[in-house]
Amino acid sequence: MEGLESLQIFGDHGDFLNDACMVRVGEMEGMQRLCTTSKSITSKGWSQLAGLTGMKLLRVRGTSFSDDDMRAIEGMKGLEDLELSKTRITDAGMKSLGGLTKMHNLILEGTNITDTGMVHLQGMTELDNLYVGETEVTAKGLAVVPKKERMSMMRIGKQALTPKQLDELMTMYPQTQIFDPAGYWRPERIQAAMKELGKEWPTRKK
């Protein structure tokens, strides 16, 4: 098992992954992808991730993962895909993301982060997709995120975006598909927003 590179445990069997199991996971030096929704893992278990510096993908949605546990991922310099949605992280833990500059996909939905924590994403020049829906992050926080011209997709907002908020984001990210907690801004909604704002919509570049 030491050579295992990928482990995914979800659903009814997810909680079988506990702190004892995480000790074994921490010994799998070749581990590159780990996904779990286990609520049985505590900080003692999450700390076992610290030695897995070759990780490319880590998804721990809906778990107890917190600010203190963020230190365990600081050494994952090649991490490209990270999901921490519905976890306990706040702005205090966001600083641990500062050195993870290879990130392409970052999912922070449903966490207690705000604009303050977004400053730690400034070095993520490879970022393609960013999910900060159901958080307190606004356009102000997103202004520090690099790669505005090439972002592929973003999900943002505590509630449905207003036309003004959508306009601000589309101006900042003209080539980005913008989603909100109420769903994608479909053409009919965009047309209504344009009419309300009385302006031309930013043209997407091909």
Task: Give the per-residue pLDDT at 57.
Answer: 98
Task: Give the per-residue pLDDT at 182.
Answer: 73
Write out residues in the chain with pLDDT < 70, as ranges: 1-2, 11-15, 199-206
Task: Give the per-residue pLDDT at 206.
Answer: 44
Task: Give the per-residue pLDDT at 56.
Answer: 98
Task: Give the per-residue pLDDT at 2.
Answer: 63
Domains and their CATH numbers in the chain: 6-197 (3.80.10.10)
CA distances from 125 to 52, 104, 146, 186 (A): 23, 9, 5, 28
Task: Give the per-residue pLDDT at 23.
Answer: 95
Task: Give the per-residue pLDDT at 40.
Answer: 92
User: Do 30 and 6 meet the contact criterion of CB atoms below 8 Å apart?
Assistant: no
Task: Give the per-residue pLDDT at 33.
Answer: 97
Task: Give the per-residue pLDDT at 159.
Answer: 84
Task: Give the per-residue pLDDT at 12.
Answer: 57
- One-letter amino acid at 71 equals R
